[in-house]
Structure 1
């Protein structure tokens, strides 16, 4: 641990305070002997570092963008989803914080162990339901008596959204999310022990004029195998470009050099109406937009690349490159 070095003025002031009695040397000794104790709540164990929490936040920010696009296409209305917070807390505390009756999607994420819970506020869930059934997206909170048809529609809507969750995690681990259960009462749900640490990602969600929260609860047991991959060091290693194999570069270069492209020498262009075109007859003259004293242009795959002049080479028509085309600057001004 680095030691603090005092200046001469600070040393003189300290000695003066001790000699005048402003500071008590005995009290200073007692303070040094006292053990510094930090309070730690074992019921609220913090098992993830700030670095790992930031990585989880980054993953779910990507997920929120993908989910916004998915629900916008499915519901055909204004949708906005963004990460509000990422916290770690006991599972029991999370269950107490959500409504008594709500929409709960429980899905597994093989090859990782355990299950993840996605809790959707009833206001949001019924706004989605109303849009799917052709309504304006209004919300009616009657989650306690879902019909079989409503349950099927909702579960299918959220099940298809799991493809976005798979894509969001793609940079860390290749998972295959599968919806296993659809519940409405959290009291009937016991995924892990009450004191198990979980990460709760809260998403602010707006659908039309209705707003609410989507909470994703990830138990520690799910993340434990990939915790090392949630560090900044892993992300930086992954983002560093790898040196290409020289043989691979050479093969790619040969392939590119052998690619064919279309080149056209443009003598000039003209605009005319369909009526003028239909009235054309033999020996009519079409006036081009190219002056006779200006160089022609060479197009490569419909992009102008060079100024050229016409001529012959070995009794064949040819063009000679004069200079590179610079988007209108130079000779044609």
Structure 2
């Protein structure tokens, strides 16, 4: 795709040509010359921008649900947002994370392979502190986690699998299971070092502590569902057929719903001064004419023109016509 210039860049280019700093003929020659773009085969891009946007959309929803989950579990302020979605070699992802960190490895049946959730130590220790009754402060800790700390963290991330399942349900029904809990990324050999993975980075704040949660998704997981990550699939999915069973149930419930009917005999507007002067036997003139139809309101919304009368010795009204659009003024 050709590079699109911003308005400021266009103005600067025109100004340089006008002032003589740049020669238009030289620009034409450069445009005619064949340009060579450097391509790194070790970092082959296997996902289109459209597919990356779909993955980003899924995880934006996931970030919102994970925020709600952690907020309810920790009873503390939590905010999680998607910062970036990139495709990189697996080896580069492993090198980019700390030597000692928290790594949750999930299987996502029926898809093959495992995905990794890397939780920055700052966030992991803040989670621990909050679970144990603290304020959610992080701890400068160089040694590994204790068995109790590992158990507490693995339990909360096991509970969080429901949010991952729900976020991906728009594309495929998965059954995430926490398979491993590691601290050293060097022990993880899930795919080949040069295998392309998608890394979703989530900026996470727990109380006053901030850090990153990175989700690493190997290409082998996404390969069967790549067609579903295109914009065409999302557009097709929006054209869903009506669920007749749900429609029938909703219609039945609506039919049984009760509404309030009122017949408005007339209205008028007076001043506070006149209201204060009211006395017994005073008469209030309404805006309604005797020979004009009344209005029937359904839940305080005027819906029909009616005329009053009696039916089986009870006060009644007869519907004349429906009120369409803006209420009409009485003649």
Shared fold (TM-score, shorter chain, > 0.5): yes
The whole-number CA distance in structure 1 between the counterparts of 2:254 and 2:72 is: 42
Matched, 1:89 2:78: no
Matched, 1:260 2:259: no
Write out aligned runs for 1:54-69 (5 A): 54-69=53-68
The whole-number CA distance in structure 2 between the counterparts of 1:118 and 1:257 is: 44
| Pair 1:253–1:305, CA change in 2 (3 A) | farther
Hey, what does 1:126 align to over in structure 2? 125
- Distance apart, 1:260 and its partner CA: 3.3
**Deviation sequence 1:55-108 (CA, Å, 0-9, x none):** 111111111111111111111221111111111111111101100000000000
Write out aligned runs for 1:23-102 (5 A): 38-102=37-101
| Pair 1:110–1:258, CA change in 2 (3 A) | closer
1:177 alignment partner, SS class: strand
Write out aligned runs for 1:168-317 (5 A): 168-242=167-241, 252=248, 255=251, 259-264=255-260, 300=298, 304-305=301-302, 311-317=309-315
The whole-number CA distance in structure 1 between the counterparts of 2:153 and 2:193 is: 28
Q: Is the contact made by 1:264 and 1:298 (CA closer than 8 Å) also made in structure 2?
A: no
Gaps of 5+ in 2: 1-24, 265-279
- Distance apart, 1:263 and its partner CA: 4.8
2:79 alignment partner, SS class: strand
Q: What's the TM-score once normalised by structure 1's chain length?
A: 0.71
**Deviation sequence 1:110-139 (CA, Å, 0-9, x none):** 000000000000001111111111111110
How many residues are treated as equivalent by the alignment? 277
Hey, what does 1:273 align to over in structure 2? none
- Distance apart, 1:226 and its partner CA: 0.5
- Distance apart, 1:264 and its partner CA: 4.5
**Over 4 Å off, 4+ runs:** 251-258, 263-268, 291-300, 302-310, 321-326, 329-332
**Deviation sequence 1:218-237 (CA, Å, 0-9, x none):** 00000000011111111111
Question: How big is the alpha-carbon RMSD for the aligned residues of Structure 1 and Structure 2?
Answer: 3.8
